[in-house]
């Protein structure tokens, strides 16, 4: 496979009008499979809280949860750019703490960049992390870590005032030095406008085709996650149903003594067994 994808590659892809493909991964085999499929970028997202750990929302995800999964993914990836999500409250307790946590994700997780949710309110943290030499991906629009203040998973930026704030936030983050920006659940027209006004790539999720790239949660795309998927998800597989079917067959075969068969069994010669059975007599 050719050279490793970097944050500079992402910028170049925008300049060359090449769309960027990204997906999430939370473990070693998925990281490896996405990488060998040729994905450009992998996000170890805090969505792992819901799709892997069974939490109610992403506010329950801790730094330890993230580091554990980021390490596993990065071991399986040699080509794609890997980004580690900074979890809830890991960049809200003072600038030193934000830099320390971003540093742990890079140093212990072995990824190339971190992602933070929010706009001008986290600008000083973003600047300090970038100053420490850590590339930052921004995330605006629907920011799931703020679910309790947003009041639900709704489209963002529908009023002129909200839209203005999003544009200002996007420009402020670009000026602070982020290398790419996730736009989640932003109306397609607004995402298009923001993408045209930035020189860094935008990565859309539920934000239309005008973004410079797209990202989805892999468990939604493959039909592994059995909970409700948002409307913007397109299912490219039904792996959850396949797993259930395969496991039901296994259960039936165990109960009916069809598994293990001859092919899965090992034997010794009868003479040895006779000795064992007769050994006590």
Interaction between residue 39 and ligand KIV (CB under 6 A): no
Q: Among residues 45 and 187, whose Cβ is nearest to ligand KIV?
A: 45
- Known active-site residue 184: yes
- Counting DSSP H helices and E strands in the chain, the numbers are 12, 8
Does position 47 bind ligand KIV by CB under 6 A? Answer: yes
Q: Which residue is nearest to ligand KIV (CB)?
A: 45
CA distances 195 to 1, 6, 105, 146, 200, Å, are: 30, 20, 28, 23, 8
Active-site residue, from 175, 184, 238, 253: 184
Q: What mask of x and - would describe binding to ligand KIV in positions 74 to 103, judged by CB under 6 A?
A: -----------x------------------
Least Å distance, CB 248 to ligand KIV, is: 30
Q: Which of 105, 215, 221, 222 binds ligand KIV (CB under 6 A)?
A: 215
For residue 182, state whether it binds ligand KIV (rule: CB under 6 A).
yes
Residues 6+ apart with CB under 8 A from 187: 155, 157, 158, 207, 208
Smallest gap from residue 207 Cβ to ligand KIV (A): 10
* Residues forming a β-bridge with 118: none
Alpha helices, DSSP H, located in the chain: 7-15, 28-37, 48-51, 63-76, 95-107, 123-131, 147-150, 160-176, 188-197, 218-221, 239-255, 270-278
Catalytic residues: 184
* Residue numbers at the binding site for ligand KIV (CB under 6 A): 24, 43, 45-47, 85, 139, 182, 184, 205, 215, 217
């Amino acid at each position: 496979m050719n050279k490793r994808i970097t944050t500079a590659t992402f910028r170049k892809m925008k300049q060359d009008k090449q769309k960027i493909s990204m997906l999430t991964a939370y473990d070693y085999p998925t990281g490896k499979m996405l990488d060998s499929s040729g994905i450009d970028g992998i996000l170890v997202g805090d969505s792992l809280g819901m799709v892997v750990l069974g939490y109610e929302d992403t506010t329950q995800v801790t730094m330890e949860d993230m580091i554990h999964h980021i390490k596993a993914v990065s071991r399986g990836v040699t080509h794609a750019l890997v980004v580690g999500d900074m979890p809830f409250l890991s960049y809200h307790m003072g600038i030193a703490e934000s830099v320390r946590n971003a540093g742990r994700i890079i140093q212990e997780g072995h990824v190339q960049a971190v992602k933070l949710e929010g706009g001008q309110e986290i600008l000083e943290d973003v600047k300090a992390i970038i100053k420490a030499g850590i590339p930052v991906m921004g995330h605006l629009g629907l920011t799931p870590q703020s679910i309790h203040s947003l009041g639900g998973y709704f489209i963002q930026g529908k009023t002129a005032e909200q839209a203005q704030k999003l544009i200002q936030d996007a420009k402020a983050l670009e000026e602070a030095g982020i290398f790419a920006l996730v736009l989640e659940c932003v109306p397609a027209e607004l995402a298009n406008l923001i993408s045209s006004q930035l020189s860094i790539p935008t990565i859309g999720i539920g934000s239309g085709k005008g973004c410079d790239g797209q990202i989805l949660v892999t468990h939604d795309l493959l039909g592994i996650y059995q909970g409700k998927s948002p409307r913007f998800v397109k299912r490219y597989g039904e792996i959850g149903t396949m797993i259930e079917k395969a496991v039901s067959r296994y259960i039936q075969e165990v109960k009916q003594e069809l598994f293990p068969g001859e092919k899965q069994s090992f034997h010794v010669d009868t003479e040895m067994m006779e000795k064992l059975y007769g050994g006590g007599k």
